[in-house]
Structure 1
Amino acid sequence: MKKSTFLHLRFPFSFYLLPVFLFGVAVAQPENWMRLGLVFFVLHFLLYPASNGYNSYFDKDEESIGGLEHPPATTKNLYRWALILDSAALLLGLLVDWKFSAMLLIYGLASKAYSHPIVRLKRRPILGWLAVGVFQGYFTFLMTVYGVLDITIASLFEWSWQSPALLSSLLLLGSYPMTQIYQHDEDMRRGDITLSLTLGVRGTFYFTGLFFLVSSVGFFLYFKETFSIQIGLLFVALLSPVCLYFSYWFVKVRKDIYQADFRHTMRLNLVSALMLNLFFVIFALNI
C-alpha cells in the first residue's frame, strides 16, 4: 500500500462517523461482545475507509478534503485498495449473516454513487444531500442494530428502532452541508453543485443552525419520553460546546467570509464528534 493510498483511506475520519454507531449500540444494549467488535471493525476499519478511498479516487481533489488538509495525488493503487477493503467488509459481514453483508453492499453502492462519474450524486444538491443523510444516519443506525443483535430485518421497522434511526438522519442532514463549506471554489471548477454551494456560505450556516435546533429538540424529546428527562438534559448540556463554537465561528465568518475554511470546519467536526461520542458512551453505560 502506498503512503498516498493510506492517507486517502482516512482511517482517523471514522471517528467523526462513530456517533451513529454508538447511538445504535446504546439503544440496542447488545450482550454479544464478539459480534459487537466485529461490526465495529467492519464499519470503521473497512467499509468507511473503502468509501473514503473510492470517492477520493474519482474526485481527485487538489484542495483540502475531510480529514486531509493537503491531499496527495491519487493513483490506481488507491482504487484497488478501496475495492479490497470493500470486499473484506462483505466477507467478514457474512460472519453475522448474509443480510448484514447485503446491507454493507447497499451502503457501499450508495457511497460510490456519490462520486462515480456515471452517477455522481455530488452534482445533484438535493439528491446528494439526502443520500448522505439517509445512508450515514438512518441506514447506518439500522445496520448497526441489526449487526449487533439477533433480530429479524422486519423488526427494524418497529417504531422503537425507526424513531432513533430517523433522528440520526436529521442530525446528519443538518451537519453535512457544513462539511462542504470550504470546498465551494473547487466544486465550482469541477461542476459539482453541492447543497452548501447552492445555499452559499451564510445560507449554509443558517441551514445547519436550523437543523441543529430541530434535531436537538427531537433528541431531547426522544430521550425524555423513552428513557428519562435527565438523559435528555445531559444531551443538551454536552451539545452546548458545539453550539458555542458554531456561533463563535459564524461571527467570524460574518466579518470575513474567508474564515469559512478547512481548519474551522474540522474543529467544529472534532468538537461535535467528541461531545456526541462522549454522550452516547455515558448513555450506554447508564441505561
Structure 2
Amino acid sequence: MLKWSNWKHLRIPFSFYLMPVFFFALAMTPNHNGERILIVLITLHLFLYPSSNGYNSYFDKDEKSIGGLRNPPKVTLGLYYLSLLFFLVSLGLAYLINWQFASMVLVYGLVSMAYSHPSIRLKKHPFLSWFIAGFFQGFFTFCMAYAGLSDFGWEIFSRQHVIIPGILTSLMLWGSYPLTQVYQHEEDAKRGDQTLSLKLGVRGTFSFAALWFLVSGIAFAWFFIQRSQVNALYGFLLAMVPVVLYFVIWFSFVRKDEKRYANYTWAMWMNRVSGIALNAFFIWYFLENTQILQVF
C-alpha cells in the first residue's frame, strides 16, 4: 500500500482541474467559515477525488496514458486498499461538518466506484457514463460543496439558487468530459468499454464538445445577466478566450491528422489551460461576489 506506484495512481494534482466547481460553490454560499472551507477543500480534493482515481485505476489496469499519468505504473492490490483508506478518511472529515455532508460524500464515492467496478462498470455504457460523470462531478459536487461550506443538508438540492449554478457546472463538464477520452480509444476498445468518445469518433467528439461549450457559454451568460453582474460576464468571457483558442487550434490540427494530434499531450494541455483559466475566474468571482476583501 505504501509503494510509490500506488500513490502515483491517486493522481492528487489532477484534483486541480475539478477545483472550479468548489470555488463556484464558495462564491455562491452565504455562510463563510474558515474551518469549513478548509475541511471541504481537503475532503474533496485531497481524499475523495484521489480515492476515486485510485479505485478506478485498480480495476481499469490501464497500460497506456491516463489523465495525469503519461506512463501509469502497474497496479497492485495495495492500490485498492489505499483508495479505500482515502475514501474512509474523506468520510471522517466530512462528518466533522455534519452527517448529511458525509452521506453526500458516501453517495459520490459509491457512484464513482460503480464507474469502473466489473460488476457494474458504467464505462461500458457511453451515454449513461457521460451523463453520470458530468452530473456528479458538476451538479452533485456543486450542491455537495455548497452544503458542506454552509453546514446545510440534503435540502439544498431543492433550492433554486443552488440548482441553477449546479446545472451550469454540469453543462460545462458534459462538453469537456468526452475530450478526456479522445486519446484512449484503443485501450477502451480493447477492454470492451464503449465510451462516448469512442462511439462518436475523434472528430465527432470535438464537434460534440463544441456544441456543449456553446450551450454552457450561453447559459453562463444568461446567469450573470439575470443577476445584473455584467463585470462577471466580461470576466467569464475573458477567461474563456484562451480555452476556446486552444480548442480551435487543437481541433484544426486533429482534422489534418487524428492519430498524431488526438493524443495525451494535447488533451492534458487542454485540461491545464481550462483549469487555470476557470480556477482564476471563479476565485476572482468569489472575491467579487462576496465582496469579502472589503472586510479587511
TM-score normalised by structure 2 residue count: 0.95
Letter in 2 for 1:49: P
Spell out structure 1 runs of 4+ moving beyond 6 A: none
Letter in 2 for 1:261: N
Q: Verify: 1:88 aligned to 2:97, yes or no.
A: no
TM-aligned CA deviation for residue 30 of structure 1:
3.5
Task: Please give the residue correspondences for 1:141-180 in structure 2 after superposition, counting only pairs within 5 Å.
Answer: 141-180=142-181
Who is 2:190 aligned against?
189
Q: Verify: 1:3 aligned to 2:4, yes or no.
A: yes
Residues of 1 paired with 2:179 and 2:144: CA distance? 25
Who is 2:268 aligned against?
266
Who is 1:105 aligned against?
106
Letter in 2 for 1:234: G
TM-aligned CA deviation for residue 102 of structure 1:
0.4
Who is 1:200 aligned against?
201
Residues of 2 paired with 1:134 and 1:168: CA distance? 9
Who is 2:280 aligned against?
278
Residues of 2 paired with 1:147 and 1:186: CA distance? 37
Residues of 2 paired with 1:117 and 1:198: CA distance? 20
Task: Please give the residue correspondences for 1:106-121 in structure 2 after superposition, counting only pairs within 5 Å.
Answer: 106-121=107-122
Secondary structure, in 3 states, of the residue corresponding to 1:61?
coil
Give yes or no for contact 2:48–2:109 (8 Å, CA) kept in 1. Answer: yes
TM-aligned CA deviation for residue 227 of structure 1:
4.3
Moved more, 48-57 or 29-38: 29-38
Give yes or no for contact 2:101–2:153 (8 Å, CA) kept in 1. Answer: no
TM-aligned CA deviation for residue 152 of structure 1:
4.1
Secondary structure, in 3 states, of the residue corresponding to 1:182?
coil
TM-aligned CA deviation for residue 150 of structure 1:
3.0
Unaligned runs of at least 5 residues, structure 1: none
Secondary structure, in 3 states, of the residue corresponding to 1:67?
coil
Moved more, 223-232 or 116-125: 223-232
Letter in 2 for 1:44: H
Letter in 2 for 1:242: V
Secondary structure, in 3 states, of the residue corresponding to 1:189?
helix
Count of aligned residue pairs for this structure pair:
287
Who is 2:293 aligned against?
none
Letter in 1 for 2:44: L
Q: Verify: 1:60 aligned to 2:61, yes or no.
A: yes
The verdict on how the C-alpha distance between 1:172 and 1:19 changes in structure 2, with shifts beyond 3 A counting, is same
Give yes or no for contact 1:30–1:36 (8 Å, CA) kept in 2. Answer: no
Give yes or no for contact 1:220–1:233 (8 Å, CA) kept in 2. Answer: no
Residues of 2 paired with 1:29 and 1:152: CA distance? 15
Once the two structures are superposed, residues 177-225 of structure 1 have per-residue CA deviations (whole angstroms, 9 ceiling, x without a partner) of 0000000000111100000000000000000001001101101110121
TM-score normalised by structure 1 residue count: 0.98
Unaligned runs of at least 5 residues, structure 2: 290-296
Letter in 2 for 1:214: V
Q: Verify: 1:16 aligned to 2:17, yes or no.
A: yes
Who is 1:26 aligned against?
27
Letter in 2 for 1:210: L
Residues of 1 paired with 2:141 and 2:215: CA distance? 21
Residues of 2 paired with 1:5 and 1:53: CA distance? 8
Secondary structure, in 3 states, of the residue corresponding to 1:71?
coil
Letter in 2 for 1:244: L
Residues of 2 paired with 1:81 and 1:155: CA distance? 32
Who is 1:46 aligned against?
47
Give yes or no for contact 1:47–1:89 (8 Å, CA) kept in 2. Answer: yes
CA RMSD in angstroms, aligned pairs only: 0.9
